[in-house]
Amino acid sequence: MSLKQTFIVLGWAGVLSGCAAEVVDIGAWDEPVGESQGALLSGNALSANALNLNALNLNALNLNALNLNALNLNGLSAQNLTAIRDPGTSGALAREFMRYATSCALTSTASFAFSWTDSSGVVHNERYPGLLGVAPTWASGPLDELGQRMVSSCVAARVNYYRVPVLISARSLRDPLKTLSSSQELIDYPDIEGAFWGNLFAAQPYINACYNSATVANSRAYQRDCAAGHLMSDGQIVGCGVIRMVGPCSGVCQSLNGAGQYYPSCVDRPGQSTATIKEVITTALP
């Protein structure tokens, strides 16, 4: 298993299952043809503007939230990541989680490569590219607390109840997701959905989500339910796995930054303490 520096060309990536000598290169997150290609491919949209597709399986987040401490011992190493080599269902979920975690943590010049063997004895070589770069030092060593929180927030922001890819704008006070008042992204993605924060790498993992009361209907129209919760046919609202819904952002977060349209900080543990943190990722939709 290794991390290698590479230039990633955005585009469709074929899944070459059953080909022992091939590398499965997960590149463009299965973007629907013709949808948002300009936003994804022009300028620095993927890094500076941090637009990303999200359809992370809820079960993948639930599974990995319980045993992520092992990932943080010595960075992304074979010893710490035996779960992703499991040929069963747990392994598939662990690999999905790692694909998103790597995309969040590393920059687009880095990737995470490893191999695993399925139940038929076929070796699969896979490579997960970086994208947003919220914790690039994970490539060479353990995540510090800031890195843990940013990766956790980023992964949670990309969970989708329906597992439908939706293009979102991910923003934060922390670089490299800090948006500026001159950003076209603020015009193209004006509706703040909510925010995500927490630490999946903590001894007792946790993730919080809050919603913007004014845009709940818009979020649900885009099939984004994890900030405000999924509305059942009987009127009951259910959450997205381990993501804890804590109510409107106005009650737990600092007011939106007017220039960049993100929540600068939120209460780390609503209902338990008043301490705030800045490792918060705000999401917005068209």
List the domain range (segments joined by +) for residue 34: 2-285
pLDDT given for residue 11 in this prediction: 20
Which residue bears the tokens 């629907």?
32
Residue 154: partners with Cβ closer than 8 Å, 6 or more residues away: 100, 104, 105, 132, 134, 170, 281
CA distance linking residue 45 with residue 52, whole number of Å: 9
The stretches of the chain forming alpha helices (DSSP H) are 37-41, 58-65, 89-105, 145-157, 184-188, 216-221
Q: Is 273 exposed, middle or buried (0-12, 13-18, 19+ CB in 10 A)?
A: exposed
For residue 81, what pLDDT is reported? 67
Q: What is the pLDDT of residue 145?
A: 93
> pLDDT, tens digit, for every residue of 168-227?
889 999 989 988 787 888 888 899 999 999 998 888 889 999 999 999 999 989 888 888
DSSP state of 262: S
- As for how many domains the chain has, the answer is 1
Instruction: Retrieve residue 219's tokens.
Output: 């979020």
The pLDDT tens digits of the residues spanning 41-95 come to 222 222 223 445 666 666 666 655 444 444 544 455 554 567 788 898 878 887 8
Q: Of 1-15, 180-194, 263-277, where does the model show the most confidence?
A: 263-277
List of residues 6+ apart from 208 with CB closer than 8 A: 196, 197, 198, 243, 244, 245, 246, 252, 266, 270
| Dihedral, CA of residue 63, residue 67, residue 73 and residue 77, to nearest 10 | -40
Total Cβ atoms within 10 A of residue 70? 13
